[in-house]
Chain A
Amino acid sequence: MSFSDDLSCQELVELVTDYLEDALTPSERDRFEAHLAGCAGCQTYLEQMRLTIDVLGHVTEESLEPAVRDQLLDLFRSWKRGDRD
């Protein structure tokens, strides 16, 4: 691969999601990985993106407002009592 074919760091950061989603073509993937292999900054960036995704996986949905939750549970109870059509 000649130097001019190399990705820049700025291009790489925009391809990170496509890379992680396996949406790059084989040749794009090769260029991505070739750049990554020699670039500490982009390795750090990719690692931080992985950590970010990991934290996002530990975030739970914001809890329901208690009033809305009670209303829905009331709905369930009245359905249960026989409003089943």
Chain B
Amino acid sequence: MATLVHFVIVDWTVQSSVGSMKLAVEALAGVPPAEDEARVVERLRAGDEGTFAALIDTYHGALLRLATAYVRDSAVAQDVVQDTWLGVLRGLDRFEGRSPLKAWIFQILVNTAKTCAARERRTIPLSAVWDASTTDVFEHAVEPERFVPADADRWPRHWASLPPGWGVAPEERLLSSETRSLVHAAIKALPPGQRQVVSLRDSQGWTAQEVCNVMQISENNQRVLLHRGRARVRRALERYLTGT
């Protein structure tokens, strides 16, 4: 394992100069200020377990979903993420903070997963995994039955009946624990690409560019996955709140 991890870090160093410009731009949006991140890295280097625990609580799920895209087999994906954390710890002393910590961690995951996939001869082009949900049949944000048919004389493709409202003060209802667990379930039911994009963008506050980089998808694909994922979650909420 040590050899693999070493390779991974060397690989990152090579790539980092190429990516540094883009990463510098990303650092301006949606990531903790550099000094906070420097403090996180300092605490990790000092062996602060709470800081490491917070890091795994934040990123492990997203790392695992990403690993699964490369290696499919969930046990192998678990190993890849574990090796990634080991790579992070071993690389800490060499982390210079030129890119956000988050981007660095995910790059180590990508390199570890690729190495592992190649070794197992199971390489699946990453784009194929996510694209499976973007290139198949068109997915409607709203069921076509809810609109006037396209060949109607009057108001074709307009709402056949208005979408039912979500009641007064929907914000309060939406933040109840019951609604949140419903949303949890709705996210879990999303196809993998949609789930990853929605989780990273909307729940973890990543920028579009950061998501594109980590998932290696185009901005357009990213938006399509986000659109479909959000539409499905809205539909689940509608069903729950209005019984329709």
Contacts and interface: CB of A to CB of B under 8 A. Distances in A.
Interface of A: 8-11, 13-14, 16-18, 21, 23, 39-42, 44-45, 48-49, 51-64, 68-69, 71-73, 75-77, 79-80, 84-85
Interface of B: 2, 47, 49, 52-53, 56-58, 60-62, 78, 82, 85-86, 89-90, 93, 140-142, 144, 147, 156-159, 162-163, 165-166, 170-171, 174-175, 179-180, 183-184, 187-188, 198-199, 202-205, 208, 219, 223, 226-227, 230-231, 233-234, 237-238
B89 A56 contact: no
A27 B67 CA distance: 40
Given A13-B141, A63-B57, A73-B49, A44 B165 contact: yes
B196 to A, nearest CB: 12
A28 to B, nearest CB: 14
Given A45-B163, A57-B203, A73-B53, A17 B227 contact: yes
B78 A68 contact: yes
Contacts of B60: 61, 64, 68, 72
Given A10-B142, A69-B56, A55 B238 contact: no
Given A52-B233, A61-B61, A79-B89, A10 B180 contact: no
Nearest to B182: A55
B82 A48 contact: no
